[in-house]
A and B are shown apart, each in its own frame.
Chain A
Amino acid sequence: MTAITDPVADYIRTELAPQSQGLELTPDYPLIQAGLVDSLGLFRLVTFLQDRFGIKIRAQEIVFDHFATLAAIEALVVAKQQSSEEAP
């Protein structure tokens, strides 16, 4: 687990899906398919990611491939952080 996946996993466990408290959320655990992130939870998660990591996620980036797993979310956050560093 990493500095990105740990807080995201904590947020999912405590705020979005209390039912996952006993689960080990591995980087490839299917968050969407297992129902841990649902329609309302998805946009709460987006807000959390933006606030926590200081990034801006655009509507067209909120797609299955970016939110399917913790690893996918991490990749999205890293990419957003890098692109904002490169920007002047």
Chain B
Amino acid sequence: MALPETAHLAALLRRSAARSPQAEALRDEAGALSYQALDRQSDRLALALMAQGIGRGQRVGIYLAKSCNAVVALFGILKCGAAYVPLDPDSPATRLALMVEDAALAALIGDGESLDALLPHLRQPPPLPISVAGEVTAAGRRSGWQPNQAPPVSTPPALAEEPTALAYILYTSGSTGEPKGVAISHAAALAFVHWAVGQFALRPEDRLACSAPLHFDLSIFDLLAGIAVGATVALVPATRALFPYALAEWLAHQRISVWYSVPSALIRLLHHGDLASHDLSALRLVLFAGEPFPLRELNQLRQVLPGPTYYNLYGPTETNVCTAYPLPPGGAPLPAPCPIGAARPGMVVYALDEAGASVAVGECGELYIGGDGLMEGYWHRPAATAAAFCRGPAGERLYRSGDRVRREAEGGYSFIGRRDAQVKVRGYRVELGEIEASLHDHPQLYGAAVVPLADSEGGQRLLAYYVPMAGAPVAVAELIRYCRARLPAYMVPERWEACAALPLTTTGKLDRQRLRALAAAVSVK
């Protein structure tokens, strides 16, 4: 399906709303929203933001549970010319406060309850609290806005087409102990959307399940590519996300045709969803990304659900999807590990050795990524941005991924592991250093080190080794409370071991290899 020539993401919504105003754009637990309603409501919000002087060059936070309203907020912010910054409603307020201040948000869109909880944690001046209806909200007061009542605005906001303008900032775990904002331009997001729409032949009849939260870049595919073609995007209800049988039932009932998630969500569906008992005949495409998919479970899934086409997609938040691997049809055998494939059109990837030379076929190197999907940089962090990029063989800007890959004979790559102390926990990228830095600040600890442990879902869990100060015993419950107040739940270690000292290498660095060997003896119960 051909998309309009535009440099503005919100033009995709405008076009879909003009073509099929009554078609269902979004569905959440509370109901559905048509393209016309989504377009008009986000117009109204954009005008309300602009009336407050908010627009180009500014950033607005979204602090809402995933819902039709959150998507209205997303497009409203884009239409006024600002960039959206999704804040995870499940993260502790102290961590969100770091992001709000780092991004210097001009406004924060939430509801009364959520804003009440967050605003007291912010130093002056806090962003302007705004409801999805566009009203400035006083703390403690909820707006009586009715989602489907949206008369057209007399003059919809003009979309300023500026390709390098920021569309969104996604915060990821940073090794210094503070989250880093990955800043993505309209042009980079549009390049991804154009590729995805063509590669996966998305069409208005499709029904996409949106399973990832807004602060996770998998949601860019569902929301932006889905809306771009006038398809229906069904937001996975929070009450079903954790319950595989209920989720499978919902997939069947919603006639979902496109699914995109981390592998662990698919593995839960496979193990506990009783997939064979549900009518999933509408499902034509299953995409996964974010962590390696264990081959045994992947092959079982292809057996239980032989209908869909499967793709392994790969790409850090800094580049969004940069390589794609279509799995062979008919359940044909896969190489191990499941490859990440070759660069998508518009992107280039190289596997380079430590001297910066391309590795030979069959050899491993670090993956460097260039092309039209690259981030502009880390928000407000020129040094970190400069360190993340280098120049490629053709003088192009390349992002150094930190991922070790093997160059395959067929022209693609396979993911082997991380170069540094970064791990994936439930699909979220976690810098062990950020957890360690949090623990290091605890007044009763000399230090701590965190290592990943394999769990039975093919994912990873965290084990913390901590060194208490002499004569100052500290309870594990206290350390957990301390982490809970500073880190999102997925970053709080599950297992804790006290030790007298941490193992060091001969250069005085933390000996992670030795820690991992120690951890291998500890199993996750």
Contacts and interface: CB of A to CB of B under 8 A. Distances in A.
A33 B259 CA distance: 24
Contact of B243 (A15, A18, A44, A63): A63
Nearest to B239: A64
A34 to B, nearest CB: 9
A35 interface: yes
A2 to B, nearest CB: 24
A18 B240 contact: no
Given A39-B457, A64-B239, A59 B272 contact: yes
Interface in B466-525: 476-477, 480-481, 483-484, 489, 492, 494, 496, 525
A72 interface: no
Contacts of B271: 43
B525 A64 contact: no
Which of B243, B268, B481 has most chain A Cβ within 10 Å?
Answer: B243
Given A35-B489, A42-B242, A60 B274 contact: yes
B477 A62 contact: no
A40 interface: yes
Given A32-B242, A62-B272, A63-B245, A39 B481 contact: no
B480 A40 contact: no
A64 to B, nearest CB: 4
Interface string B436-464: 00000000000000000001110101000
B500 to A, nearest CB: 22
A27 B516 CA distance: 39
Contacts of B484: 19
A59 B245 contact: yes
Contacts of A63: 243, 245-246
Interface in B46-104: 90
B177 interface: no
Contacts of A38: 242, 489
B264 A39 contact: yes
Contacts of A21: 476-477, 480
B246 A22 contact: no
B477 A22 contact: yes
Interface in B251-273: 264, 268, 271-273
Bin chain B's interface residue count: 20 to 34
B481 A64 contact: no
B274 A40 contact: no
Given A39-B268, A59-B274, A62-B272, A18 B242 contact: no
Given A59-B272, A59-B273, A62-B272, A42 B477 contact: no
Contacts of B240: 64
Given A19-B481, A63-B246, A40 B457 contact: yes
Given A19-B480, A35-B489, A60-B274, A40 B242 contact: no
B230 interface: no
Nearest to A18: B480
A63 B440 CA distance: 39
Contacts of B480: 18-19, 21
B426 interface: yes
B244 interface: yes
B429 to A, nearest CB: 18
Contact of A64 (B242, B273, B426, B494): B242
28 contacts: A15-B525, A18-B476, A18-B477, A18-B480, A18-B494, A19-B480, A19-B484, A21-B476, A21-B477, A22-B477, A32-B239, A32-B242, A37-B242, A39-B426, A39-B457, A40-B455, A40-B456, A42-B242, A59-B272, A59-B273, A60-B245, A60-B274, A62-B243, A63-B243, A63-B246, A64-B239, A64-B243, A64-B246
Given A22-B481, A37-B242, 16 more contacts: A18-B477, A18-B494, A21-B476, A32-B242, A33-B238, A39-B426, A39-B457, A40-B456, A40-B461, A59-B273, A62-B272, A63-B243, A63-B245, A64-B240, A64-B242, A64-B243
Interface of A: 15, 18-19, 21-22, 32-33, 35, 37-40, 42-44, 59-60, 62-64, 67
Interface of B: 90, 238-240, 242-246, 264, 268, 271-274, 426, 455-457, 459, 461, 476-477, 480-481, 483-484, 489, 492, 494, 496, 525
By Cβ-Cβ distance, the 6 closest A-B pairs, closest first, are A21-B477, A64-B239, A19-B480, A35-B489, A59-B245, A63-B246
